[in-house]
């Protein structure tokens, strides 16, 4: 072999080795220039997920999980793994069900996010094994001030923490061996932790802790003097105290798991009022409601992301939650959102804030419906509603997640009243309008018109990335976008330089056609089938 061929072979071997390493690289959430990104197989990824129903993580039922995921074009399924399922007898683990999940997902070309239902599942102990449920001495429940037991396990239970951590670590140890290819890209530690109806444990040891000072770490991080919980947080003292201890507990469980396999770990929140924490509507005490995120972030540094479980249909509240959970550059995940068709449009609002994961809850074919939270029936219309944004985002998986980590973004979904929404990006004002015909202006009186069929429908939204000062990548559905100069100079008018409809192939933009004439004279109208547009604007005078 000549020197040239030997050198070429060397390069090829190196390239193959690097590629192989990238493929087995651990999924992780990394920081990006503008916002965090999720890396899967070493590449930026957006989890277009569905979450299965609570009792769907069994080999006998998994066959009714995958088809719905495929029907909406999901690339990821969130599946519960109950503590009772893997450790029915203390110290004896059985990962048969987990293996079935791995095999099933791989056969479908899907990734998984596993949900560890341990000490807390919707705050309750229902997924703990019988040997935990039946031993209240070793695994204590929280106590009310009068000494009565509450349904939630106490976050101060040292034995509970030890047992939960050991089981979770065993799960992660198993994954390390059984999932070298990282079908599992994230793990949620517990589910909607906290307690309803009792702000904190009143057992003697917990009372003593509550009377003590807040942790030095917390005082330092919040920039407040180290004082008692009461003095530090006033009316929120019990909630903050409980949050610290629940978050610390979960951090300990997460770390035990990460010591075996360092996948990104996440937590999900049952939510309180989106707008205010006055008035007591703060979700379960101790859970990661938005008002205690600063406490959670200090107490549970091993969590890569904390996300809201969204079950309000009020668009303003949804947008507010998305703002709050992505504030200050935090990675945005939406581990649960209702599965009724009207929730589908919030995917635009989420991905337009750089969401790394979006997951309608209870999207499987087991026949269970959780109306009034979600849909009354998972009919074709409902599945189609979720499939539309996933189809578009999925088509740009080689480009969007990278762009979203780098560029200024905007995402919005139709509000309850269908009013126009706008934002300013650089010198451009972007205005989204809903329920408009693609042809004609609102103020045209010279010709009669029927109302648009979607005028009162809760559908529509868009994502926008500003690629450079005057160029925008826009994806959307059932929305009309207009770009105008935010502050035109005297005599300055906006013009469309070029609007290309297209897609991404291996990260490169490929034009399908230009939009011009009727298709842009009244704004860019995105119809029922979402598309990508690359719009270059300019101005003249």
Tell me how far, at minimum, the Cβ of 366 lies from ligand DGJ, in Å. Answer: 12
CB 436 within 8 A of CB 500: no
Tell me how far, at minimum, the Cβ of 283 lies from ligand DGJ, in Å. Answer: 11
Tell me how far, at minimum, the Cβ of 267 lies from ligand DGJ, in Å. Answer: 11
Structure letter (DSSP) for residue 89: B
In the range 110-129, which residues lie near ligand DGJ by CB under 6 A? 122
Q: Per-residue x/- marks for ligand DGJ, 322-341, CB under 6 A?
A: --------------x-----
CB 429 within 8 A of CB 423: yes
Residues in the interface with ligand DGJ (CB under 6 A) total 10
The Cα–Cα gap between 196 and 132 comes to 20
- Single out the residue of 29, 40, 52, 54 in contact with ligand DGJ (rule: CB under 6 A): 54
The per-residue DSSP string of 172-224 comes to HHHHHHHTTT-SEEEEEEEES-SBSS-SS--SHHHHHHHHSBPPHHHHHHHT-
Tell me how far, at minimum, the Cβ of 359 lies from ligand DGJ, in Å. Answer: 11
Site membership for ligand DGJ, residue 190 (CB under 6 A): no
Q: Please, which residue, 76 or 421, has the CB nearer to ligand DGJ?
A: 76
Q: Please, which residue, 362 or 530, has the CB nearer to ligand DGJ?
A: 362
Residue nearest to ligand DGJ (CB): 370
Tell me how far, at minimum, the Cβ of 309 lies from ligand DGJ, in Å. Answer: 5
Tell me how far, at minimum, the Cβ of 191 lies from ligand DGJ, in Å. Answer: 5
Q: Please, which residue, 54 or 412, has the CB nearer to ligand DGJ?
A: 54
Which tokens is 291 given? 């008002």
Q: Please, which residue, 312 or 477, has the CB nearer to ligand DGJ?
A: 312
- Single out the residue of 84, 97, 190, 192 in contact with ligand DGJ (rule: CB under 6 A): 192
Tell me how far, at minimum, the Cβ of 427 lies from ligand DGJ, in Å. Answer: 43
The Cα–Cα gap between 342 and 54 comes to 22
- Phi and psi torsions of 32, nearest 5°: -115, 175
Q: Please, which residue, 361 or 400, has the CB nearer to ligand DGJ?
A: 361
- In terms of phi and psi (left: phi > 0; alpha: psi -120 to 50; beta: otherwise), the region of 104 is alpha
> Mind spelling out the 3-state secondary structure of 519-534?
HHHCEEEECCCCEEEE
The per-residue DSSP string of 329-368 comes to GPPPEEEEE--SGGGTTHHHHHHTTT-SEEEEBT-SSS--
The Cα–Cα gap between 426 and 462 comes to 18
In the range 200-259, which residues lie near ligand DGJ by CB under 6 A? none
Q: Please, which residue, 337 or 531, has the CB nearer to ligand DGJ?
A: 337
Tell me how far, at minimum, the Cβ of 54 lies from ligand DGJ, in Å. Answer: 5
- Single out the residue of 191, 195, 339, 459 in contact with ligand DGJ (rule: CB under 6 A): 191
Tell me how far, at minimum, the Cβ of 376 lies from ligand DGJ, in Å. Answer: 14
**H or E segment and range at residue 449:** none
In the range 485-514, which residues lie near ligand DGJ by CB under 6 A? none
Query: Cα 28 to chain center, whole Å?
Result: 14
- Single out the residue of 108, 230, 370, 539 in contact with ligand DGJ (rule: CB under 6 A): 370
- Single out the residue of 84, 190, 251, 309 in contact with ligand DGJ (rule: CB under 6 A): 309
Sheet with 479-485, edge to edge strand ranges? 421-425, 428-433, 479-485, 524-526
Beta-carbon contacts of 380 under 8 Å, excluding residues fewer than 6 positions away, are none
Tell me how far, at minimum, the Cβ of 414 lies from ligand DGJ, in Å. Answer: 24
CB 20 within 8 A of CB 12: no
Site membership for ligand DGJ, residue 291 (CB under 6 A): no
In the range 373-412, which residues lie near ligand DGJ by CB under 6 A? 373
Which tokens is 144 given? 């009310």
Residues forming contacts to ligand DGJ in the complex (CB under 6 A) are: 54, 122, 191-192, 309, 336, 361-362, 370, 373
């Amino acid at each position: 072999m000549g020197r040239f061929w030997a050198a070429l072979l060397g390069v090829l071997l190196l390239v193959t080795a690097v590629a192989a390493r990238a493929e087995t690289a651990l999924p992780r959430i990394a920081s990006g220039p503008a916002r965090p990104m999720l890396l899967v197989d070493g590449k930026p990824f957006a989890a277009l997920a569905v979450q299965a129903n609570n009792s769907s993580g069994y080999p006998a039922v998994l066959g009714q999980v995958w088809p719905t995921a495929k029907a909406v074009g999901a690339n990821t399924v969130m599946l519960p793994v109950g503590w009772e399922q893997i450790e029915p007898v203390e110290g004896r683990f059985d990962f048969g069900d987990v293996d079935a999940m791995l095999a099933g997902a791989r056969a479908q070309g899907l990734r998984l996010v596993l949900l560890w239902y341990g000490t807390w599942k919707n705050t309750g102990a229902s997924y703990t094994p019988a040997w935990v449920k039946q031993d209240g001495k070793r695994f204590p429940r929280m106590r009310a001030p009068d000494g009565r037991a509450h349904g939630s396990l106490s976050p101060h239970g040292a034995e509970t923490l030890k047992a939960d951590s050991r089981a979770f670590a065993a799960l992660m140890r198993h994954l390390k061996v059984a999932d070298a290819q990282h079908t599992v890209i994230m793990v949620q530690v517990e589910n909607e932790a906290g307690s309803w109806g009792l702000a904190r444990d009143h057992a003697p040891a917990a009372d003593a802790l509550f009377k003590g000072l807040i942790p030095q770490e917390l005082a330092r991080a919040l920039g407040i003097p180290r004082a008692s919980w009461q003095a530090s947080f006033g009316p929120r003292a019990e909630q903050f105290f409980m949050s610290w201890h629940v978050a610390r507990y979960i951090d300990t469980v997460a770390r035990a798991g990460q010591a075996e396999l360092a996948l990104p770990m996440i937590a999900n929140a049952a939510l309180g009022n989106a707008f205010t924490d006055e008035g007591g509507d703060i979700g379960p005490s101790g859970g990661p409601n938005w008002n205690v995120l600063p406490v959670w972030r200090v107490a549970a540094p091993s969590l890569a992301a904390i996300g809201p479980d969204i079950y309000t249909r009020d668009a303003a509240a949804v947008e507010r939650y998305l703002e709050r959970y992505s504030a200050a550059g935090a990675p945005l995940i939406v581990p649960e959102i209702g599965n009724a068709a009207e929730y589908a449009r919030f995917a635009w609002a989420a991905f337009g804030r750089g969401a790394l994961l979006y997951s309608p809850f209870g999207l499987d074919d087991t026949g269970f419906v959780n109306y009034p939270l979600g849909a009354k029936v998972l009919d074709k219309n409902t599945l189609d509603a979720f499939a539309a944004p996933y189809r578009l985002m999925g088509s740009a998986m080689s480009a969007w997640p990278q762009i979203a980590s780098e560029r200024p973004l905007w995402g919005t979904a139709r509000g309850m009243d269908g009013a126009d929404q706008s934002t300013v990006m650089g010198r451009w004002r972007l205005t989204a309008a809903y329920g408009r015909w693609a042809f004609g202006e609102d103020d045209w009186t010279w010709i009669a018109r029927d109302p648009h069929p979607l005028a009162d429908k809760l559908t529509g939204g868009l994502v926008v990335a500003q690629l450079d000062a005057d160029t925008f990548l826009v994806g959307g559905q059932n929305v009309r976008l207009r770009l105008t100069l935010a502050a035109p100079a005297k005599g300055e008018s906006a013009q469309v330089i070029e609007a290309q409809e297209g897609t991404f192939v291996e990260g490169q933009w490929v034009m399908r056609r230009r939009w011009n004439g009727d298709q842009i004279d009244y704004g860019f109208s995105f119809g029922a089938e979402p598309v990508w547009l690359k719009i270059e604007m300019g101005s003249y005078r």
